[in-house]
Amino acid sequence: MTRTTIILAVSCLLLAPIARAGRIRVLPYSQQYSQSSAGAGARIDVQVRRAGHPAHRSQPTATVAVHVSSGASSKTIGGTTDAPPPQPLYPPLPSSSPVLKRTQPYGPGSFWYQDGAGHTCQYVPNSTGICFTITGAGNPANAAPPLTPVTIAAHVADRLALRPGQVKASPSSAGLTGAASWFWLDPAPATEHLSVSLAGEAVTVTAVPQITWLFGDGGSMDGGPGVAYQAGPVPSTAITHVYETRCLPGDQGHDPYVLSSCGSDGYRLTAAVSWQISYRADGPVAAAGTLPIRTTTSSARYPVSEARAFLVEGAAG
């Protein structure tokens, strides 16, 4: 039985007897005890509203414990809705637990952190994380970092797509010396935003692309993503380059006039996208700052031909 199945089973059992309550808060938790054994439980807080009376919060009204043992192929579900013993809000987790060694405990985008009360918590995108009380001597192999805006921002930045796009050219098959070639990225990289709210902190991370074009013959240009070729005046956002030396397959090693950067199938054309990453946090701690720059690249091979003029003997007229 998976963790998701356990939580669903717990939620169904918990919600049934109090479906008509005012406001229900379900606090589930789960714990892996070994490779073949796991446990899960939940606590319910109910806020009751009655006409003519102020709203009040009751004591926990229901708990359910679930135990699964894959080795024995057994399942035990037990619970009560009358006077159950309270389940821990922050269940214990041994410091030697294998799950603490995973930097991404529940897949990409998940991570460990410490809340302000010293609990070790899981963040899982689009889900409710769980906080544990770590027990046992020593610290886990990968101790959770304190929860700070920059810590949250660093994890959020790991989830940014940062797509550089694909290099396109006109002429598409080969350039021509002395004539401008056009280059652009498709789709064009654009500013990316990603936000997360965690432990009362709302953190937004923004990545702004800056592009440097390397044309392969030693020329370079700082600019945007460029625009596709169009007839008429050259727009200011266009990325163009004029090659002075040809570079065709077979030239290297046979033509003494080609550049050393000329490859076996043309110049190496590269668009290097440097992402300027910043964050802003609002909540108990208001902060703003920057994160290390990240670079993604998109490249292609671009052969360049040349047009030659020849003098030929003509008839006297």
Give the domain ranges of the chain: 1-87, 90-147, 166-305
* Bigger pLDDT: 16 vs 96: 96
**Least confident piece of the model among 166-170, 211-215, 230-234, 289-293:** 230-234
* Bigger pLDDT: 246 vs 317: 246
Q: Average pLDDT of the chain?
A: 76
- Comparing CA positions, the residue from 277, 273, 282 lying closest to residue 156 is 277
| 147-203 pLDDT, tens digit each | 678 888 988 898 899 999 999 999 998 999 999 999 999 999 999 999 988 767 789
| pLDDT of residue 222 exceeding 60 | yes
| pLDDT of residue 29 exceeding 80 | no
Select the highest-mean-pLDDT range: 42-46, 143-147, 148-152, 213-217: 213-217
pTM of the prediction? Answer: 0.59
For residue 241, the model assigns a pLDDT of 97
Confidence of residue 304 (pLDDT cuts 50, 70, 90): very high
Share of the chain above pLDDT 70, in %: 64
Select the highest-mean-pLDDT range: 69-73, 188-192, 251-255: 188-192
| 106-159 pLDDT, tens digit each | 777 777 777 666 778 878 777 666 788 888 866 554 556 666 788 889 888 988
| pLDDT of residue 225 exceeding 60 | yes
Share of the chain above pLDDT 90, in %: 40
| pLDDT of residue 87 exceeding 80 | no
| pLDDT of residue 261 exceeding 90 | yes
* Bigger pLDDT: 102 vs 109: 102
State how far the Cα of 269 lies from the Cα of 217, in Å rounded to an integer. Answer: 9
Q: Give me 186's structure tokens.
A: 């498709």
b (16+ CB within 10 A) / e for 110-143: bbbbbbeeebbbbbeeeeebbbbebeeeeebeee
